[in-house]
Chains A and B, each alone.
Chain A
């Protein structure tokens, strides 16, 4: 065990002596955390809308002014014809346009029924879906509003209106009352950054010794496999935990991220999680010959882990088989745990299963790394 101390000392010296690496390890992630936290918002506001009013009636003008008043829509310069509106859609100058046909008011009064046409840029499907839902909502409100104001003149309408049943819906957003995206993104981004630092650094580590040739010198020493792996793993483990602590502190200061649950659970889980990530890195390092290969392999896994972590797109939206793949994604569990503990204040019992899974990952990956690391080539 005493030998591990010497490996640790050496690794730390090498890390802290590399002037090029220090800012990459300690500054870059923090800057990214603070900046990128703002990037993530699906909040759909200011949908750029053009209204092609071919009716120019009181009703249609009223509808336009309702659109203008809505926080969801940003009314653009009106177009004169469909071609113009279509071109604006193509050039992304607008996200959607609405055509109010001539005789809109007439039809509405006479037949109590009128059509409008909504054309939406649907490349971003979910955004388009929301835009159409918002506009439908706006129309529904407009219906009610017109019915009541117009109803004063029409007896039939007045009675029918007072007879109509309405269901009042109240909406509460638990754990994040004001739908603050930062509460959701910051812990997630932090997890990703810590993961990347740990996985990249550890996967380059042993393979680097292979490339410069020092590994042979180590292999003729009586050092044990587990001593070697532990000595390689611990420095990055400590750096990862340090980075997590630093990130959380800054997130608290700058973005007042709530920490409802216990930090002990967060760091306890992070400790096990990092063991798993670093074990994976070291495993990659033992099966590759060059830093290029090992980085490419870890890049491959990390892109998958990151995009399937549930941070950017929700896991339950994925097809069944993809959801099953995410069960093998350590990042997924850590993001779940940070969310549950930090935002919901969940206790240990709620995240027990995640602990068990992560312990299994950590154990298996490190065991494999230790077994794979051969001092003797066969």
Chain B
């Protein structure tokens, strides 16, 4: 045990001697969380739109005024003709154009019926869809106001909306758990896989293997420093999330920390597994970065809701450990769930860890035999 301790201390020295690694290890996640916490958002604000008003009457002007008053939109231009609109779209100056037919007010007064066309730049389908929905809401309200002025007695069902767990619909609530996950996953897996393959590449692994330490202790010694550092990282991110972005921790903090620890161990064991499969740092790095980056971002539910994906992908998403951790973090932090709500996810993470370690031990034995 004493030997093991000495070894762990040596690993710590290795990490701390290089100030650049330390800077990277702590500075970068902090910078990333700060940057993305503010910058990544699905909330649509000030989307640039243009209006092609063929009518230019009192009502159409009022409608345009109401649309541009919405915080969702910024009126980029009043267009004169369709050609101008096409150019604006092609040069990506606007996201949406609203065309008001000729004689808009006249039609409304005479026939009770008028037409508006919404044209969206659907190269970004999500934005297109959301913007057109928002515009329709504004138009509907406009229409209701018109009708209210002259009559009473239309049936009206009013909806009272409660936004649960995130009253102000802050994007940060969704992204902080995701960012914690991605940073922990990539940093932990990459750091272990590379530090072990480096010893292999340099040939120092063989020297260590003939030392009185058992291979298991050896790996432990390599991993423990990263475990502690990653855990510290997780704490820093949680604190920032809470104080800077107001993301609450409604549930039990100890539970949250314990689950983070478990997830870090999962990621570390994945790193160990990668390192038992290859001798070269390059391969280890490419697998843990190229192999993990996009799938973790895209299939974990971080940005794209898993339930909207086609079924095969929903199945595949189950093998992404990050998916389960994001569920756990969201439940504990935002919903205040207790362990009975997340035991299934916890068990799955434990299963992944056991699997990675088991496979690593197997690979390791084959190599030695």
A interface with B by C-beta (< 8 Å):
18, 20-21, 24-25, 28-29, 32, 35-36, 38-46, 48, 89-92, 108, 112-130, 132-137, 139-140, 142-143, 146-147, 150, 156-157, 160-177, 179-181, 183-184, 189, 192-193, 196-197, 200-201, 204, 208, 288-293, 295-297, 299-300, 302-304, 306-308, 312-314, 316-319, 321-322, 325, 336, 339-340, 343-346, 350
Find A126's partner among B90, B130, B312, B313 (CB 8 Å cutoff).
B130
CB-CB contacts below 8 Å: B342-366 with A: none
| Contacting residues, chain A, for B308 (C-beta < 8 A) | 41-46
| Contacting residues, chain B, for A133 (C-beta < 8 A) | 133-134, 137
Find B154's partner among A92, A161, A176, A344 (CB 8 Å cutoff).
A161
- B132 near A128 with CB under 8 A, answer no
- A28 near B117 with CB under 8 A, answer no
For the complex of A and B, list the 3 residue pairs with the smallest distance between their C-beta atoms, beginning with the closest: A125-B169, A322-B39, A173-B122
Cβ of B309 under 8 Å from chain A:
yes
- B291 near A28 with CB under 8 A, answer yes
CB-CB contacts below 8 Å: B273-306 with A: 278, 280-283, 285-287, 289-291, 293-295, 297-299, 303-305
A201→B282 CA distance, assembly (Å): 8
Find A20's partner among B123, B280, B316, B335 (CB 8 Å cutoff).
B280
Known contacts A173-B132, A306-B293; 10 additional CB pairs below 8 A are: A113-B156, A123-B330, A143-B156, A150-B155, A157-B153, A169-B117, A172-B119, A173-B119, A316-B47, A340-B90
- A165 near B160 with CB under 8 A, answer no
Residue with the highest number of chain B CB atoms closer than 10 Å, among A108, A124, A308, A350: A124
B340 nearest CB across to chain A (Å) = 10
Contacts A160-B154, A189-B294; is A122 near B165 (CB within 8 Å)?
yes
Contacts A165-B147, A299-B289; is A288 near B283 (CB within 8 Å)?
no
- B162 near A119 with CB under 8 A, answer yes
- A108 near B123 with CB under 8 A, answer no
- A42 near B161 with CB under 8 A, answer no
- A36 near B303 with CB under 8 A, answer no
Cβ of B151 under 8 Å from chain A:
yes
Find A130's partner among B92, B130, B171, B194 (CB 8 Å cutoff).
B130
Residue with the highest number of chain A CB atoms closer than 10 Å, among B38, B126, B293: B126
Find B116's partner among A41, A170, A295, A340 (CB 8 Å cutoff).
A170
Residue with the highest number of chain A CB atoms closer than 10 Å, among B128, B134, B190, B317: B128
Contacts A125-B42, A183-B123; is A169 near B118 (CB within 8 Å)?
yes
CB-CB contacts below 8 Å: B138-197 with A: 139-140, 142-143, 146-147, 150-171, 173-174, 182, 186, 190-191, 194-195
Closest B residue, CB atoms, query A163: B151
| Contacting residues, chain A, for B212 (C-beta < 8 A) | none
Contacts A28-B290, A167-B116; is A296 near B28 (CB within 8 Å)?
yes
Q: Is the interface of B mostly helix, strand, loop or mixed?
A: helix
| Contacting residues, chain B, for A24 (C-beta < 8 A) | 283, 286-287, 290-291
CB-CB contacts below 8 Å: B235-293 with A: 278, 280-283, 285-287, 289-291, 293
- A165 near B24 with CB under 8 A, answer no
- A143 near B155 with CB under 8 A, answer yes
A41→B114 CA distance, assembly (Å): 34
A79 nearest CB across to chain B (Å) = 15
10 of the cross-chain contacts (CB-CB < 8 Å) are A143-B155, A156-B153, A157-B155, A164-B151, A172-B118, A176-B128, A179-B129, A204-B285, A307-B36, A339-B123
- A128 near B166 with CB under 8 A, answer yes
Q: Is the interface of A mostly helix, strand, loop or mixed?
A: helix
- B120 near A167 with CB under 8 A, answer no
| Contacting residues, chain B, for A157 (C-beta < 8 A) | 153-155
A313→B160 CA distance, assembly (Å): 29
Closest A residue, CB atoms, query B335: A90
A304→B40 CA distance, assembly (Å): 10
B218 nearest CB across to chain A (Å) = 19
A130→B303 CA distance, assembly (Å): 16
B120 nearest CB across to chain A (Å) = 5
- B115 near A167 with CB under 8 A, answer yes
A39→B118 CA distance, assembly (Å): 28
A146→B155 CA distance, assembly (Å): 8
- A20 near B165 with CB under 8 A, answer no
Contacts A20-B278, A292-B198; is A41 near B294 (CB within 8 Å)?
no
Q: Chain B 325-351, CB within 8 Å of chain A: the 1/0 string?
A: 001001100110100010000000000
Interface size on B, residues (CB 8 A): 124
Cβ of B367 under 8 Å from chain A:
no
- A139 near B153 with CB under 8 A, answer no
Find A171's partner among B42, B132, B156, B174 (CB 8 Å cutoff).
B132
A188 nearest CB across to chain B (Å) = 10
Cβ of B200 under 8 Å from chain A:
no
- B129 near A295 with CB under 8 A, answer no
A149 nearest CB across to chain B (Å) = 11
Find B123's partner among A136, A196, A296, A343 (CB 8 Å cutoff).
A343
| Contacting residues, chain A, for B43 (C-beta < 8 A) | 125-126, 317
A89→B165 CA distance, assembly (Å): 10
Closest A residue, CB atoms, query B331: A90
Find A174's partner among B41, B113, B122, B169 (CB 8 Å cutoff).
B122
Contacts A29-B290, A163-B112; is A120 near B147 (CB within 8 Å)?
no
Find B125's partner among A132, A146, A171, A179 (CB 8 Å cutoff).
A179
- A160 near B153 with CB under 8 A, answer yes
- B121 near A174 with CB under 8 A, answer yes
Find B112's partner among A41, A165, A289 (CB 8 Å cutoff).
A165
B241 nearest CB across to chain A (Å) = 14
- B169 near A129 with CB under 8 A, answer yes
A168→B117 CA distance, assembly (Å): 8
Cβ of B209 under 8 Å from chain A:
no
B70 nearest CB across to chain A (Å) = 13
- B282 near A208 with CB under 8 A, answer yes
- A115 near B159 with CB under 8 A, answer yes
| Contacting residues, chain A, for B169 (C-beta < 8 A) | 122, 125-126, 128-129
